[in-house]
Amino acid sequence: EVQLVESGGDLVQPGGSLRLSCAASGFIFRNYWMSWVRQAPGKGLEWVANIKDDGTEKYYVDSVKGRFTISRDNAKNSVYLQMNSLRTEDTAVYYCAVSGDWGQGTLVTVSS
């Protein structure tokens, strides 16, 4: 059974940084693309970024390009999202995802 456990969400001031982590189990991690998606309070779902199985390709939604970086460590079965220059509109629950399966999410709140 696929298990994805996100961590690292917190309250941060605008302009600040945060690193999210996702620990994966129940599948052969190194064989799969991984994604981050998010949902702002009261809003719809938004795909944020994904990374190829070997880490050589990364793609981002336009609103986070240049600010967020997705990475992975196949030895640790983990994927990360480094978020810099955070804005209030980045406030959301962030989910780690693989092949349509998601974790329970971690809350990021950007506020002064």
Partner 1 sequence: SYELTQPPSVSVSPGQTARITCSGDALPKRYAYWYQQKSGQAPVKVIYEDTKRPSGIPERFSGSSSGTMAILTIYGAQVEDEADYYCYSSDSSGNVWVFGGGTKLTVL
Q: Which residues bind partner 1 (CB under 8 A)?
A: 35, 37, 39, 44-47, 50, 57, 59, 61-62, 93, 95, 99-102, 104-105
Shortest Cβ distance from residue 59 to partner 1 (Å)? 5
Nearer to partner 1, 16 or 32 (CB): 32
Nearer to partner 1, 10 or 101 (CB): 101
Those residues whose C-beta lies under 8 Å from the C-beta of residue 61, and which sit 6 or more positions away, are 46, 47, 48, 49
Would you state the torsion angle of the CA atoms of residues 14, 18, 24, 29, taken in this order, to the nearest 10 degrees? 100
Alpha carbon distance 112, 107 (integer Å) = 16
Shortest Cβ distance from residue 46 to partner 1 (Å)? 6
Nearer to partner 1, 14 or 45 (CB): 45
| C-alpha closest to that of 90 among 7, 22, 21, 10 | 10
Shortest Cβ distance from residue 15 to partner 1 (Å)? 26
Nearer to partner 1, 83 or 98 (CB): 98
Residue pair 58/65 in contact by the 8 Å Cβ criterion: no
Shortest Cβ distance from residue 47 to partner 1 (Å)? 4
Q: Is 55 left (phi over 0), alpha (psi -120 to 50) or beta?
A: left
